[in-house]
Amino acid sequence: MEQILDLEIVKLVIGLLAAFVFVVFNALILTWAERKVAGHMQLRIGPKEVGPYGLIQPLADALKLLGKEIITPRNVDKPLFYLGPILIFIPVLVAFVVIPFDSFLQVKDINVGILVVLAFSSFTVLAILMAGWGSNNKYSLIGAIRSIAQSVAYEIPLLLSLLAVVMMAGSLSLKEVVEAQKGVWFVLLQPVAFVIYFISSVAETNRTPFDLPEAESELVAGYHTEYSGMMFALFFLAEYTNMFIVSAITVTFFLGGYQGPFLPGIVWFLLKSYLLVFVMMWFRWTFPRVRFDQLLNISWKVLIPLAFLNLLVTGGLLKL
């Protein structure tokens, strides 16, 4: 038995299963939290009827979505249309493999951990393009096109800002990055990189004020206009999971990961992550949406040069 448990592949499968459970659970909590946050920011109180404080509400919503018919419009490109929402989900699961929830709680510590996360997160764009193109709907297509342009623009500052931290930690492994923050968190040493990373990650997850691919006042619902029932729910699930992942990466790279006094590491980790998720929700219910050209300008004209400069200064200081 011990032997079986020690096998890499078994560990991976168990890890992925745990990740899947966590993803679903996380989405349930976050949909509830988002509605509560939205409610309180909008002079309302949010869900309160189903269960205490409306906690069972997401479960009821999920059941409703499961019961809905999955409508396939005529003239859609069926393979792409069905694959889109499923593929958007895969990179999300993979990212969980390398994230260190605690010093002992990590499915696999890969020595190029961050590269795995970033490589797979780029995969999301492909899924969105499949959904947008396969839907055979003009709004979906424009949403998908926007999404690609946005991802291409924001992955660069994302990577560059993380690179500065990697240089300081001297490792691509997420665990070693966390361990390198024993004394001082990188947010203090790399404040510019932190800001760049956080802005870019909001854009990567298509959240307001960068929610152009699904801008409802312009594109109805963007790339997921034609999806219904559980297919739509998968996009939803992916969005909330992505929010958690980018927050988890931020915590790992800038906020000391699972480190903190008194409480167990996992509690610190989740606490910090969900705090960042809350900030993202706060953004959403406060800001209007930026325009497409402004969105690209922020990335290409401000964030990328700034990230390069930051990298240069970091490199120079390290050499000294």
Partner 1 sequence: MVEKIKAELKATFADLAIAEESYPQSGYHLSVDLTAKDILNVARFFDGRGFYLAVELCVDYKDYLEIVYIFSIHSSLCKVKATLKLDPVQPVAPTLSGIFDCAYWYEREIREFYGVLFDGHPNMTYLFLHEGIDFYPLRKDRVPVSEQDKQELNSYSPEQREDSLSINMGPQHPSTHGVLRVVLRMDGEYIEDASPVLGYLHRMQEKMAENRTYQQFLPNTGRMDYLGAMSFNLGYVTAVERLTGIDVPARAHYVRVIATELNRISSHLLWVGAYLADLGGLSPFLYVFDDREHILDVLEAVTGSRLTYCYFRFGGLYNDVDDAFVLGTKAFVARMRGRFSLYEKLVGGNVIFINRTRGIGVIAKERARKYAVSGPVLRGAGIGMDLRKAEPYAAYPEMDFEVPTGKNGDALDMYHVRVKEMETSLDIIDQALALLADGPFMVEKAPKKLKPRKGDLYHVVETPRGELGIYIVSDESDKPYRMKWRVPSFSNLMAFPELAKGNLLSDAVAILGSLDLVIPEIDR
Q: Which residues bind partner 1 (CB under 8 A)?
A: 38, 41-44, 138-139, 142, 146, 208-209, 211-212, 215-220, 285-294
CB of 37 or CB of 117, closer to partner 1: 37
Q: Give the Cα separation of 23 and 191 in Å (integer).
A: 30
Closest CB 60 distance from partner 1, rounded Å: 23
CB of 171 or CB of 228, closer to partner 1: 228
Structure tokens at 90: 């895969």
Residue 311 contacts by C-beta under 8 Å, 6 or more apart in sequence? 160, 163, 164, 167
Closest CB 228 distance from partner 1, rounded Å: 16
Count of C-beta atoms within a 10 Å radius of residue 4: 9
Among residues 318, 307, 304, 303, which one has the least CA distance to residue 169? 318
What's the burial of 176, exposed, middle or buried (CB within 10 Å: 0-12/13-18/19+)? middle
Sign of CA dihedral 21, 23, 24, 30: positive
Q: Give the Cα separation of 292 and 284 in Å (integer).
A: 17
CB of 9 or CB of 43, closer to partner 1: 43
Among residues 118, 36, 64, 82, which one has the least CA distance to residue 229? 64
Closest CB 285 distance from partner 1, rounded Å: 5
CB of 64 or CB of 291, closer to partner 1: 291
- Determine the number of helices (DSSP H) and then strands (DSSP E) in the chain: 15, 0
Closest CB 35 distance from partner 1, rounded Å: 12
Closest CB 190 distance from partner 1, rounded Å: 25
Closest CB 253 distance from partner 1, rounded Å: 27
CB of 111 or CB of 286, closer to partner 1: 286
CB of 151 or CB of 252, closer to partner 1: 151
User: Quick one: DSSP state of residue 214?
Assistant: G
CB of 45 or CB of 275, closer to partner 1: 45
Among residues 162, 164, 195, 172, which one has the least CA distance to residue 311? 164
Among residues 259, 264, 229, 225, which one has the least CA distance to residue 128? 225
Closest CB 289 distance from partner 1, rounded Å: 3
Residue with tokens 């997420």: 174
User: Quick one: DSSP state of residue 302?
Assistant: I
Closest CB 298 distance from partner 1, rounded Å: 10
CB of 235 or CB of 269, closer to partner 1: 235
Q: Give the Cα separation of 167 and 186 in Å (integer).
A: 11
